[in-house]
Structures are given as structure tokens and as C-alpha cells.
Copies of this chain bind each other. A is one copy, B any other.
Amino acid sequence: DSHASPSGGTLKLAVIPGDGIGQEVTAEALKVLEVAAPADVKFETTRYDLGAERYLATGEVLPDSVLAEIREHDAILLGAVGGKPNDPNLPPGILERGLLLRLRFELDHYVNLRPSRIFPGVVSPLANPGDVDFVVVREGTEGPYTGNGGALRVGTPHEIATEVSVNTAFGVERVVRDAFSRAQRRPRQKLTLVHKTNVLVNAGAVWWRLTQEVAREFPEVTVDYMHVDAAMIFMTTDPSRFDVIVTDNLFGDIITDLAAAITGGIGLAASGNVNPDRTTPSMFEPVHGSAPDIAGQQKADPTAAILSVSLLLDHLGHTEAAAVVEAAVIADLAERDVATTRRTAEVGDAIAARVGG
């Protein structure tokens, strides 16, 4: 297929800078991609203006024709989407459900990949974080994120609203298998399932059963289980114990923000919305939002967007280029002077220079 050619040629990249700081950090990410791409690979980028601004101007969130075009690319780079908080013209969830989640669901991004490392020189809010290097494999197409559920007697004292978490053996097994195969390729070969099997007994049973079943295919991997509430405790008191975490869509959302926080903040957290079957383009994005309060001021840290480029290159088979970008970020972080604030473009320039040099 055309979505993962690891050899030379032209790769089609759909770029969705989005809103607020999404624009600024994406510019830096592309700057780094430009210099990082292997000599025989050309990235042909198409920019799609989607997000709050477009919605407020046109009422469009993600037109079907645009989705069809995006689908024809090899990968997607996304900045951040979201308007001003509590903008009365932006109903809650309209962009999240209509754009971000629609892309994840339509393109079957069932692996939401979120690496967490404390890089040298980075300050954690934890007093003694230890040597933190784990990756969360968050399910991306099921769970409480499906949009199932509804509401009755809305706005009245008799309103009832439901949200249905949908968990299928098909959906759970494939993400669990992906997580195991990642665990197997890592030095510590450890996998922790995070769920709430003692309360969410139906969903919990599927996750538990399939984790045990798939484990048999990966005898080298040590398997561990932790309730999501207990995970909060270990994440703050002993985060170095984690290697690969596999979990559902909502727990993964929550855990990865905590993981980002303890490893130095969401300014550094990259993510991939991956379809490991490579039948559709995977999408790479920083975990942070559009931060409208600091937008357009060159105050945003583009590091997470740049690390997302590293994940993108890796996914496309350009492992070496991916490693070079990551190494450049690590070197930049190690030498950052916390007393000096650099403009967004300065950070991008510095990392691009390291990649190029």
C-alpha cells in the first residue's frame, strides 16, 4: 500500500496546523522534518485549514470531501485544535468529536501511542522521579469515546444522560497485541494492563481475558495488572516501574496527561494516532491543546510537535531519521537554560540546526 513506503520517493503529508499555538508549533515541526528527511525522500505537504477558526467562519468541521482527500496521504501532522474556552459559538465537543475524534475513528487509529521519558535536564514536579521511560498504548477507537449514549428530557429536572463504553474482543485484542509486540522489542519486556476490572466488570473481563490470551504469544513479556486508581499512586511514587502500559481510551487519556506532567509537562509530550495495519494514514500530534491565551506570541514550546515528527518518521520506516530528531531534541533539552525563554521559532531553529549539523 501507499501509506508506509520505507524506501525513497515522495511521501504525501497532510498538515492540519489547527488553532492557536497549533500554527506556531507546526511550523517548527515542519522545519525540522525538512532537514531530517532522508536525502532520497521528499515530503509533499498539503495544508488543511480545519479547527475552531474554520468552524466559526464557515460552520464546517470536517467536510467529507476533505476527509476523503486526507485519506489519500501517507501521514498526517496535526498541531492543535480548539477555540477560546467557553466560546458560546463553540458547542462543547464540536471540534473534539467532529474533527479530532472523527479522524481517529474514521482512520481506525486504534493505537494511540504516547511515550513518556524524563529527558536529561528536564525538571519533573516529582522530588524523586527516578529513571522514567515508558510508553502508553492507549486504545483509540472504542471505550467511552464512541459517542454512544444520549439524553432524554434534556434541560429538565428529569434529564437522564448516558455514555456507553463499547469494548469489543476485536478492538481490545488488536491493541493489546500491538502493546505486547512493543513490550517485546523493549529491553525490560514488561506490560501493565491498567483498567478498573473490579467495578467495570463487563469491559474489565474482556480486557483481562484478552491480555491473558495474547500474553501466551509473548512468553518473554512479564505481565502485570493495575487498577486505574492505583496507577495514579504508582505514577507519582514509582513511575520508573512502568515499561509498556496498555489501557482503554478514557483511562489512557487521563493517565497520559499525568505521565506528561511528571515527565516535565505537556510541552514535551508527543503522540501518534497509529493504524498499525497501515491501511490509512496515521496522525501525529502533540498532546497539548491550542492554548489560545498564548497564541501568536511565539511563547509556545514546539518540542512536543517536533517529537511528534520523530514518531511520524519512525512510523514511516525512517527509523534513523526519527532517532536523529529525537537525539537533537534530547541535546537541546539537556542544554536549555531555564533562565532564558526562547521564542517558538528559536527552539525550532536550534533543533533543526542540530539535525542538519
- Inter-chain CA distance A204–B250, complex, in Å, is 14
From B127, B168, B201, give the contact of A159 (CB < 8 A): B168
- Inter-chain CA distance A332–B175, complex, in Å, is 48
- Inter-chain CA distance A208–B151, complex, in Å, is 14
From B86, B126, B165, B209, give the contact of A162 (CB < 8 A): B165
How many copies of this chain does the complex contain? 2
- Kindly state whether residue A222 has any CB partner on chain B within 8 Å: no
- Kindly state whether residue A157 has any CB partner on chain B within 8 Å: yes
Q: How many residues of A contact B (CB 8 A)?
A: 70
B-binding segment of A32-40, A45-53, A191-199 = A191-199
**Residue numbers in B under 8 Å from A206 (CB-CB):** 151, 159, 161
* Complex contact B167–A161 (CB within 8 A): yes
* Complex contact B144–A199 (CB within 8 A): yes
- Inter-chain CA distance A205–B169, complex, in Å, is 30
- Kindly state whether residue A149 has any CB partner on chain B within 8 Å: yes
* Complex contact A229–B257 (CB within 8 A): yes
CB within 8 Å of B: which of A252-274? Answer: 253-258, 260-262, 265-266
Given contacts A92-B204, A127-B125, A254-B254, contact A169 B158 (CB under 8 A): yes
**Residue numbers in B under 8 Å from A158 (CB-CB):** 168-170
- Kindly state whether residue A8 has any CB partner on chain B within 8 Å: no
A195-228 interface code vs B (CB 8 A; 1 in, 0 out): 0111111111110110000000000000001001
Given contacts A161-B203, A258-B236, contact A155 B92 (CB under 8 A): no
- Inter-chain CA distance A199–B252, complex, in Å, is 14
CB within 8 Å of B: which of A126-165? Answer: 126-128, 144-145, 147-151, 153-165
Of A127, A145, A202, A261, most buried by chain B (CB within 10 Å of CB) is A202
From B149, B225, B236, give the contact of A262 (CB < 8 A): B236
Given contacts A156-B169, A169-B156, contact A200 B125 (CB under 8 A): no
**Residue numbers in B under 8 Å from A197 (CB-CB):** 92-93
A227-259 interface code vs B (CB 8 A; 1 in, 0 out): 011101100110000000000001001111110
Given contacts A167-B160, A257-B229, A261-B233, contact A198 B127 (CB under 8 A): no
Given contacts A159-B206, A206-B159, A209-B155, contact A149 B164 (CB under 8 A): yes
- Kindly state whether residue A97 has any CB partner on chain B within 8 Å: yes
- Inter-chain CA distance A133–B268, complex, in Å, is 29
- Kindly state whether residue A41 has any CB partner on chain B within 8 Å: no
A172-206 interface code vs B (CB 8 A; 1 in, 0 out): 01000000000000000000000011111111111
Given contacts A254-B254, A258-B232, contact A161 B202 (CB under 8 A): yes
- Kindly state whether residue A56 has any CB partner on chain B within 8 Å: no
- Inter-chain CA distance A236–B239, complex, in Å, is 13
- Kindly state whether residue A327 has any CB partner on chain B within 8 Å: no
- Inter-chain CA distance A84–B200, complex, in Å, is 19
Of A97, A225, A229, most buried by chain B (CB within 10 Å of CB) is A229
CB A61 to nearest CB in B, in angstroms, measures 13
